[in-house]
Structure 1
């Protein structure tokens, strides 16, 4: 891939991961400074952890830590180690994205533990820079979807603390008033949009420049993950015997139909951030737009869609197989050549244990990567949660695919919003696959 496009794809991944994690990066003063050590000097064993997030207050008591920090605290106490946070800031690294910095640091063995996006997991895993986690006790409890998404060359090289599920957020009151059932197929979705537009909702689907690819992934991979031989199909894609463009074309054509019919405002979506713009944020919450797309956590927080004045339901994206959640995830990984590799593996086994996963999931009210951990969700999320618990989903990030999906497809969807044809978008996908 062209270097500039790689940077943009990684920037998109970092921004999305930051939204999903709901964590902002604090300012670092200089490279390598230990910004968040609790009880410095209490332990001679230190594990260096590089991530895009920081404790709000490095000197805060453990009870004030975020969900992730609570699990780190569990490992510190149980193992008698100190986990030193080393965090990314764009100010320090200027033009370098978080992913680019992760690649540099991991290849130089600067840290022991990392929080990585999928494309970085693929790169570092294939180069042998990430330790195999399959022997850890916590790895035995993972959902199969998590294992598949984080396996590179047969090795489990990353484990997340959260599975991020994307779905359609629907104003059920508007649908009821228009006598509409919640759509399951692309045809039903188009019919809903037609009726909604006739009823005076000029732009039935609120969109931003980040998440329209969820429509594409749902339709592209519904059969791959729910009907066929997933491993064989991915092997055929990696070998070039099958084309990503053949899988993704129907989703791009569906988006083009939505744009042509005026159901999505492409011009506005191209420049809108998440939760902003026409149909986003205030418009959806005010009842002026019936449908938006967002991730699971947006239903849990008042800063997004957590307290609507109407009945809201979160459903899967329309496919010929029915409603389909789209899953993405970041992952914790251990540097294979790092000085603290062995201690970092012990930390991983604690922070990804069922006990820690339960704490994390209860604190953030999210889907756990562990098949043994379930947390009750808010009422609007029940339809989406039922699908995920039934193993009905598609993956938008899969380390087993040699073409990174989430960031690349996001950028090519933006080309479509900007006026590129579906054929031109497919040609870009073919270029990426040929290069891979």
Structure 2
């Protein structure tokens, strides 16, 4: 009798375990740094997917951008990371693939919707393996408060002389902060500062590729000149800019207390939700003597599959859906300022988002010069540029010394291929 009871209990436990496993089958967790649009994923994107695939349950989790890389690495190493990994472009995600933490997505249906250029941010150096499905790029520029410009009789500056003249006029008026950015978090100083205006100095892809080839260096005049221009921003950034974190910069502009915001198009959705004034945008102003314009149209976000996921088939189903026109249309309009990298035909409803993307037909596009290859070693060039750009604006280092430190750091580990 006792033996019979034990067998019955064991069978029951086995069945319960099976039911529990079945209940978890098909559940996916997404890891992302996009905390600003978490609600859109939960209320728009995932429900649209579930209309077609109701049995695949998805949880979206976000980590603040500055903490994402370290947090994700800890979760991957600890075995607690989600099934789908939101991928930063180039080296950070390539390293995850090389460590065996991301798998190939070459067999994901719909990957042919992306050009080789679009896939390059998430493809191995030999071009054979794509490890994240591309999703979107972001474009750099400047947003501005149209009400302030109208009040002061300002027009969109096309040159740096016009840009600084506008800042002088806004500062003299004294009613709002002329240039809204802080250096507390450092990354904005490089991302919305150095990498925003820099392509006009180093001629976009020409200069970026020359750094990789070793035929140009950060100590060359065009790179020093970017730091010199950044140093000129400080008098316009408000008394507390050194202690001002990114969310405070967003709030300052949203509340109408700042005139010009060095921007990435990713901020459009935030300002649409919070600001009650008309917002315009202008391209990075041209330096003196420069006639061709360049924009940072940066391959920003992709998505891959955690090698440790127990639901890889479901993950591939979701990634295949992200290659469709349906996803591109939802993503581009629900998260304005993120521009699909697929060949989908998308109609943008937001005029500010349309302004940013219109620059593609006016200027030559490039990506941030620290992202491909040049941040693989120690010290990390991307992190160096964060710190050095912030220090230049803060006045704690000269532009010349900043350029030298950036190149010295690179020289410690990077030897261009001959």
Q: TM-score, normalised by structure 1?
A: 0.69
CA–CA separation in structure 2 for the residues paired with 1:239 and 1:108: 37
- Is 1:216 aligned with 2:183? no
Which of these residues, 56, 66, 70, is aligned with residue 100 of structure 1?
70
- Is 1:313 aligned with 2:283? no
**Structure 1 vs Structure 2 CA RMSD:** 4.1
Q: Secondary structure at the match of 1:242?
A: coil
CA–CA separation in structure 2 for the residues paired with 1:86 and 1:300: 18
Deviation at 1:272, TM superposition (A): 0.8
CA–CA separation in structure 1 for the residues paired with 2:247 and 2:273: 7
**Residues 351 and 71 of structure 1: CA distance in aligned 2, closer, same or farther (over 3 Å):** farther
Q: For residue 346 of structure 2, what is the aligned residue in structure 1?
A: 374
CA offsets, 1:384-431, max 9 Å, x none? 231146674442387533326655423322222332222332233224
Q: For residue 330 of structure 2, what is the aligned residue in structure 1?
A: 359
Which of these residues, 404, 410, 417, is aligned with residue 433 of structure 1?
410
Q: For residue 317 of structure 2, what is the aligned residue in structure 1?
A: 346
In terms of fraction of residues, the more helix-rich structure is: 2
Q: For residue 149 of structure 1, what is the aligned residue in structure 2?
A: 121
Deviation at 1:42, TM superposition (A): 5.6
CA offsets, 1:56-81, max 9 Å, x none? 99xx9xx993344335535743xx54
Deviation at 1:271, TM superposition (A): 1.0
CA offsets, 1:218-256, max 9 Å, x none? 33334767564x8xx53x534544334546432211011
CA–CA separation in structure 1 for the residues paired with 2:324 and 2:26: 21
CA offsets, 1:332-368, max 9 Å, x none? 1124565544553333112332222222333333422
Q: For residue 252 of structure 1, what is the aligned residue in structure 2?
A: 227
Deviation at 1:114, TM superposition (A): 0.9
**What is the aligned length?**
374
Deviation at 1:282, TM superposition (A): 4.2
Deviation at 1:121, TM superposition (A): 0.8
Q: Secondary structure at the match of 2:263?
A: strand
CA–CA separation in structure 2 for the residues paired with 1:107 and 1:323: 40
Which of these residues, 379, 391, 402, is aligned with residue 374 of structure 2?
402
**Residues 122 and 428 of structure 1: CA distance in aligned 2, closer, same or farther (over 3 Å):** farther
Deviation at 1:313, TM superposition (A): 0.7
CA offsets, 1:165-211, max 9 Å, x none? 34311133433444433112323322322343344468521222353
CA–CA separation in structure 2 for the residues paired with 1:201 and 1:240: 47
CA–CA separation in structure 2 for the residues paired with 1:64 and 1:50: 12
Deviation at 1:318, TM superposition (A): 2.0
Kept after mapping to 2: 8 A contact 1:397/1:405: no
Q: For residue 324 of structure 1, what is the aligned residue in structure 2?
A: 295
Kept after mapping to 1: 8 A contact 2:293/2:362: no
Q: How does 1:289-308 map to 2 (within 5 A)?
A: 289-301=258-270, 306-308=275-277
Q: Secondary structure at the match of 1:400?
A: coil
Q: For residue 415 of structure 1, what is the aligned residue in structure 2?
A: 391
CA–CA separation in structure 2 for the residues paired with 1:170 and 1:122: 36
**Residues 75 and 165 of structure 1: CA distance in aligned 2, closer, same or farther (over 3 Å):** farther
Q: For residue 171 of structure 1, what is the aligned residue in structure 2?
A: 145
**Residues 130 and 98 of structure 1: CA distance in aligned 2, closer, same or farther (over 3 Å):** same
Unpaired segments of 5 or more residues in structure 1? 1-38, 91-95
Q: How does 1:106-125 map to 2 (within 5 A)?
A: 106=76, 112-118=83-89, 120-125=92-97
CA–CA separation in structure 2 for the residues paired with 1:120 and 1:227: 20
Q: How does 1:48-127 map to 2 (within 5 A)?
A: 49-51=30-32, 65-70=42-47, 73=50, 76-77=53-54, 81-83=56-58, 85=59, 87=61, 97-106=67-76, 112-118=83-89, 120-127=92-99
**Residues 42 and 152 of structure 1: CA distance in aligned 2, closer, same or farther (over 3 Å):** same
CA–CA separation in structure 2 for the residues paired with 1:137 and 1:356: 14
Q: How does 1:131-146 map to 2 (within 5 A)?
A: 131-142=103-114, 146=118
Kept after mapping to 1: 8 A contact 2:392/2:399: yes
CA–CA separation in structure 1 for the residues paired with 2:260 and 2:63: 34
Higher Rg of the two aligned structures:
2
**Residues 76 and 225 of structure 1: CA distance in aligned 2, closer, same or farther (over 3 Å):** farther
CA–CA separation in structure 2 for the residues paired with 1:432 and 1:426: 10
CA–CA separation in structure 2 for the residues paired with 1:136 and 1:126: 19
- Is 1:383 aligned with 2:355? yes
